Amino acid sequence: MTDASSLTPRILTVTVRYRMPVPESATLNSLAAAFAKNPALHRRYTMLLWDNSPEPLLDPPANTVYQHDATNSGITGAFNSAAAYAQANGYEWILLLDQDSDLPNGFLEAMADAAVHVNAMEQVAAVVPNVYVKDFLASPHRVLLGRHVPYPAGDTGIAPGEATAINSASMLRVRDLLAVGGYIRAFQQEYSDWYIFHQIYLAGKKVWGAGVSLQHEMTVMDYDRLLSVKRYRELLDAEEAFVDLYRCRTEGALQTVRLLARTVKQRFKWENPEYSRISFRRFLRRLHTTRKHRLAIWRADGEARAARYTAGASN
């Protein structure tokens, strides 16, 4: 007789740490609490802690696979390495987590149940929760001609159209992630999630809405408190390259208009006027340079970007 537990998909959680003390990590604390409350979760999940900090932990959390990467390969290196580990050790799914996500009660159970439900659905490559920033549904979104439209709150099932989601708390099928080549160095951090979900879409795969919800703090939605000017420039670099590489000419034109609208909005919404100035300069650059020229600059700067992330400059 087949053990029922053997039919349950195995899930590897990967938490990416950078310098944060373990007791201060909301993700590690909420994972520990979830496993303490429901020890049966150990039959469904294994925890991997990928540590990009300069110095390794002397006492990693119990019941956790610990990998230290002093070179700081960023989230792209962490997620690709986690996918390779998962494939080598028989995990069907990886659940992507950053170090400061407070997972709500029942989240792991809901995601594991969703994995059971879709495991035989070959077209489903990702399972995503509803991620809120306060009252705004930040993920998942449907891509509609340059606009990112939230799916109806609470929807479950296959997301229609091209779906995109943030990395945090998304669960990806290992074989599909590897089949599209995984994350790439060109999008080392900014727009890495946009890139991978677009590749999933191009491969003809689907995204499943799990229906479960959690709150998350997003740097790009709080310029005054969380987003640095340097990080904003890097975000614009990645956004422009993504649009130039993977969107049509109409969407490229919409991006130019969007930068002008953003210039005005930022000037009145945020305290630091530098964000508005940067957006306006990018607007002018799109007017006076070609797509080919912009991508040439982006590719030429690629190694410098990778070096900055390796040095921890983006953290």
User: pLDDT tens, 196-254?
Assistant: 999 999 999 999 999 999 998 777 777 877 788 998 999 999 999 999 999 989 999 99
pLDDT computed for residue 275 by the predictor? 93
Under the banding of pLDDT at 50, 70 and 90, the label for residue 313 is very low
Calpha distance 183→36 (Å, rounded): 33
- Token code pair at residue 284: 């002018």
- Token code pair at residue 312: 């921890």
Both 38 and 142 in one domain: the answer is yes
Calpha distance 257→137 (Å, rounded): 24
Query: Which residue among 200, 217, 234 closes a domain?
Result: 217
How many domains does one find in the chain?
A: 2
List the one residue out of 130, 153, 125 whose CA is nearest residue 140.
Answer: 130
Q: Which domain holds residue 213?
A: 4-217
Query: Which residue among 217, 252, 286 closes a domain?
Result: 217
Both 186 and 102 in one domain: the answer is yes
Both 231 and 201 in one domain: the answer is no
Tens of pLDDT, residue by residue over 256-312, are 999 999 999 999 988 899 999 999 999 999 999 999 999 998 888 877 766 666 555
Can you give the CATH number for the domain in which 31 is found? 3.90.550.10
Q: Could you give the angle at the alpha carbon of 222 between the alpha carbons of 14 and 232, nearest 5°?
A: 80
Both 205 and 106 in one domain: the answer is yes
Say whether 60 sits in a helix, a strand or coil: coil
pLDDT computed for residue 254 by the predictor? 92
Calpha distance 80→181 (Å, rounded): 9
Both 154 and 173 in one domain: the answer is yes
Both 286 and 145 in one domain: the answer is no
The per-residue pLDDT of the chain, averaged, comes to 90
Both 147 and 279 in one domain: the answer is no
